[in-house]
Amino acid sequence: MFSKHAARGCLFVVIAVVFDAKFPNNVFNDTMETKRKLVIEMMLHGKTPTEITKDLRISRMAVYSIKKQFQECGNLDRHCGQGRKRTAHTKTMLKATKGRIERNPVHMMRGMARDLNISESMI
- Higher local confidence (pLDDT), 12 or 39: 39
Instruction: Judge whether 45 lies within some domain.
Output: yes
What is the span of the domain harbouring residue 9? 4-73
Residue 11 has pLDDT above 80, yes or no: no
What is the total count of domains within the chain? Answer: 2
Residue 112 — pLDDT band, cuts 50, 70, 90?
confident
Same domain, 52 and 108: no
Q: What is the mean pLDDT of the chain?
A: 76
* pLDDT at res. 17: 53
Same domain, 44 and 100: no
Residue 2 has pLDDT above 90, yes or no: no
Going from the C-alpha of 83 to that of each of 4, 59, 79, 86, 119, the distances in angstroms are 38, 19, 9, 9, 21
Residue 111 — pLDDT band, cuts 50, 70, 90?
confident
Going from the C-alpha of 108 to that of each of 69, 71, 93, 95, 120, the distances in angstroms are 48, 53, 17, 17, 10
Same domain, 105 and 65: no
Same domain, 65 and 108: no
Same domain, 13 and 49: yes
Instruction: Judge whether 83 lies within some domain.
Output: no
Residue-wise pLDDT for 25-71, tens only, equals 444 445 878 888 899 999 999 999 999 999 888 999 999 988 888 88
